[in-house]
Structure 1
Amino acid sequence: MLELSLPPSLSSLPSLEHNDGTLLQYYTQEWSAHRMLSKKLENPFQRLILPRAFQFSPLLHMIMSLAAHDLFNRTHADQEHQRQEFYSSMLQHKLQSLRDMRQLLCSSKGLDDTYDSISQCEKDGLLMAVMLHSLMEIATNSTREWVVHTLGGLSMVKRYGHEPFSPEVYRFVTDHFSLFEAFLATTGTELEIEDLNGWLVPQRKSMFPILRSMHGRSRINPYTGLSSELIQNITSITSTIQRHSEAGSDRKSATIMRTELQAVEDRLSELQQWSEDSDMESLIYINAAAFEAAAWVYLRVAQYGCDAEEIQKSLMPKLFEAIRRVHDRRDALVGSVPYPLWALFIAACLAPEHERIQVLDWFEELKGCRSLSNVSSTMEATMMVWKQQDLKLINGHVRGGRESGVPWHEAVRCLGWMLSLM
């Protein structure tokens, strides 16, 4: 076990034990360091979270819970006692964080009350703690619970706006929530609060100066792996699918849909994602390329339906190659490094039969190292998609024939899951 003395600023916080120093050290030196796709760029998991965690106990307990979860996953199975200690610490700190947040919210008047006793640090800490609770649920392979925290965070943002929070904290957290929202919607599942669906992405564009220009929106986020502009395009495809599937298949609706999707195609064609990291072979560019290739496949599915043969001949080889490049980089498989799981899911759902073995190999590789991801649930959803496709073949459906609709929506609906695809 690592040893670390607790900083004096932590000595007054409740429920801390000496071994918690191990968790703090692990979060600082390992977990947070691996949450970035480029070590050359500033790390908000360290710069924004750590100083506030030392002053806000719910956030402190959550970073220790995440560290304990990661250590639990990385400790060899034959060290059962140590694994159980980490697992127990994970649950204890998660529970204490929830208790402390509830106590704070019950005793406060509201985040926008100028006379309230909640400090700026506590408001920032509360928003980031909610985000980390979402990540923890995703890390434990949740297919529904993570949405509770995401909805809580989105509701806070919608009700109070950005004024109560530090701008950099607000953007950091909404970067994650907008991605959660966008990827979930591509599965055919919407958030349970209707007026929050699709609300955050355009809201952020008007709020942050950097997102008002195409150049700023094309910047690759180093802790998500894709740009705000690409998220916006993915969201636009999804909303177009949703609106016109509800409107039916009349000629006018089909014409409008084609026009809207052509506008997305034009934006995708012009998109040039970039990063301050000048190394074009760095993981940040490789991840972004995988997401972009998957977005093109998603667009074609929306435009032409599931015309598998056409998509596989023109776009799937590029997507498979992009994912293969990610796996060729061993640093991409460190447990907490962002990984383009949404891109793998899109590739898996449309994979030709001879590529299924490769997809399964990638999933198995990820299951052995991804401590902060819902790989297992995504793999199970993929298997359900394949089963439905195979049943259609048995029932006489011709492989490669033109088929309307998004091919994975029905499978996810049957499972009743809320997939984060993170």
Structure 2
Amino acid sequence: MKAQYFPGRTLARFRYLGGKAAGLLIFGIFLMLSMLVIATGPEAAPTERAEREWPVSYREVTPVSMAPTIQVYGKLETDQSATLRAGVTATVAQVLRREGDWVNAGETLVQLDDAEVLLAEQSARAELARAEAALRSIRNDHQLAQDLGLHHEAQSQLAREKLQRFESLHAKSMIADAQLDDVRHEATERAMVLAQHQSRLRDFPNQEQQAEAVVAEASARLGQAELDRQHTDVRAPFSGRVVALDVAAGDRISAGSALLSVADYAGLQVRAPVPVDVAQQLRRNLDRGKPVVAATTIAGERLGFQLRGLAGEVKAGQSGIDAFFHVAPDSVMALGTVVDLTVALPEQSNVVALPIHAVYDNNRVYRITDSRLQAVTIERVGEHMDEAGNFRVLVRSSELGRGDQLLVSQLPTAMTGLLVRPTLAETSQTPALAGQWSSW
């Protein structure tokens, strides 16, 4: 069978072969041009990459002796306050001071109506006068009885002597029996009268003692009445501030009712909890007779405080022990005020004060030697805050010597061997950081 000829298919094959040939031609031309550029281009010399220098600040080491400080928050209170109560049942006549008022010791605060106690005092005074008069009467009777006793003894003696005479005459039959009986009866009566008088005389000391007891009782009632009258004038027991007022003029109050409360400002103190380990240091200083001082700034005035004592136990809900700092009497300060205290701890030797960002991982600083960093392991001794509020970390290390340059910049890439460009830091640029308890 004779093959058939298809012109369209042949044309398509020629187009395909022509496209491939054109692509190869273009690629060859591009390759030749690239080789020509490389062959005729200038030869570049290799460059060395320079190590980066980090600009940092440093300070020269000067180890000194310094007292670490701890910042604690306490509340102003007083070690004693008095709730004044009514000593008598009476009506409130005047209230002379209000809550928050400052009062001086001995100053009248509340005046009670004294009409009732004056009547009671007059009655007690009259009862005392009556008892004293009764005692004087008994003493007069006693004196009279003593005087009459001499006469009774004399009459009884005469009666006995008369009886003896009549008995002698009767024995001689010179008188009748009836006469002797009359004389004997008279002598017996005289003896009875004398015995009765002597018995009464012996009872007078008992009567006087009873009368004296009545006088003493009446005198006590008078003293109580006078004391009640004094209770109508309620006075301040000490200088301080009225912290509570419970009555008003016109109130009828009974004995024992609360009138007002006064806080003693001579016993002002700041109660501030401190960590247990810090409390041990403070107690050791107190036992050795070393003063522990604290300071704060209130209304722009720098105030000092001295540690008075420490509590003996950790109270429930607290992680520290209460410390009591004495406050000088000040009529301006209000009880309950929260006070921010900076407490000085026992002094430490050979320490260096650094800004907190100069300490890395709490146990490392960097020394600059020949413009390169070198890590130095340190002991974190404590913290210190000066009067201007500048916060520093106190560190110590046997590897640090006077004149060493320490990195004080905050450098996240700090590591041993890092190349730096050091600049001496200005001492006035000190960040003020607020802290509470020490974290060391």
When the two structures are superposed, what TM-score results if normalisation uses the length of structure 2?
0.16
**1 or 2 for the larger relative contact order (CA 8 Å, sep ≥6)?**
2
> Which one has the bigger helix percentage?
1
